[in-house]
Chains A and B, each alone.
Chain A
């Protein structure tokens, strides 16, 4: 289970997250929608402390951390219990596909090499990249790179996967292979937070959809509720604008 209690984030004087409360049960898939600058990325990045939240409580898998008194060990625990998939993939460019996935196991979890390799091969099989093990990121298509990104995030077997616009940098024809990979991971019962502009995808994959604006959660509900009967005026506007842009 994942719980966020009253998360606030300031950048200097700019108030970017204004008290986020969220409780997500195991296996739940939550999509986060919202206009640019609403704080979606910041929210994900506060969960794994890529950004230090200003105040609030983050709880993941029974580990409860008051962000204002978070120790190094707390941050490490949060980071290893989350896996992040970045818009720009952010693969380690000097490492092969296999090593990108293995490195978390060998240098963070301190697994033996052959054990790490076995696990990594399993995961790479799931994202369909066993034929690219010894390629470097520069030798892969964007879609393949993002699938490695997903494999790397899965390697530490995190409680939750955080996706920040995983398909936004991709050429349109490569979006589907990545969405298919995300679907297949979803089918394994992994808890996921997905920030996305792919409304159709969000609608079909999510258990819950959250609409954020200006640092607050404006509205949340099942995809059915949110997409067909949005309550808040701002949600309606966002959805109609987003569907017109399609």
Chain B
């Protein structure tokens, strides 16, 4: 009888796939952190209408939105070594950098940070602008510095507003990291591909890897709900 699935192979592929989870999570979380910096930075540039920089950041956001992620990953992977090499030869900069020793994970992290940063930028900008002007004024009136005002008053509230959007984008990013095998990163997807070609059982490994992604995303969603509740606790009109 012909089997639809080699169940044993499917089950046995899990440990190897799960062992690469740190790579997947590392790239996703790492790029979330970096992209938050990029997103806040570009959002502030737009809000304060910084000359030149605000034009540059508009172009950046537009470019990222208008080109496929896959292409962006290739651009980073092939572009950065070339640029570093060029700077070394032409200007003698970055002499200590050895282009060949940069791990593909680093390119993946960069590409995803730049990509997610652009998407976060708009979300963060509108979240910051959702905090009423009156609180900005009150902070100024007591003599707070812009930095203190942002860190202690504005960002915590903007974050609470932005979390649902940030969460969705983060979950998309987790799924998008399945692209990184194309530049040689062995994440859970890359591991699945390797196992699949070894055992000639692609359907089985892709079922396995999809289950891993699924569970991961469900867990992340749960955590996000908790984080959002906590971040918005001050909005509830009942005694704390």
Contacts and interface: CB of A to CB of B under 8 A. Distances in A.
Interface of A: 48, 50, 76, 79-80, 82-84, 86, 88-96, 103-104, 107-108, 134-139, 152-153, 155-156
Interface in B151-204: 152-153, 156-157, 160
A52 B148 CA distance: 21
Contacts of B4: none
Nearest to B237: A138
Contact of A136 (B141, B143, B160, B234): B234
A84 B235 contact: no
Given A107-B148, A139-B240, A82 B141 contact: yes
B84 to A, nearest CB: 40
28 contacts: A79-B140, A79-B142, A80-B143, A83-B142, A86-B137, A90-B132, A91-B135, A92-B138, A92-B152, A93-B234, A93-B235, A94-B153, A94-B160, A95-B152, A95-B153, A103-B152, A104-B144, A108-B142, A108-B144, A134-B240, A136-B233, A136-B234, A136-B236, A138-B235, A138-B236, A139-B239, A152-B142, A156-B143
Q: Interface residues of B: mostly helix, strand, loop or mixed?
A: helix
Contact of B138 (A82, A91, A135): A91
B139 interface: yes
B156 A94 contact: yes
A92 B141 contact: no
Given A91-B138, A93-B135, A107 B237 contact: no
A91 B157 CA distance: 13
Counting from the closest, the 9 A-B pairs by CB-CB distance are A90-B134, A90-B138, A136-B234, A79-B143, A104-B142, A80-B143, A84-B141, A94-B156, A108-B143
B238 interface: yes
A179 B91 CA distance: 70
Contact of B153 (A84, A92, A152): A92
Contacts of A84: 138, 141
A80 B239 CA distance: 32
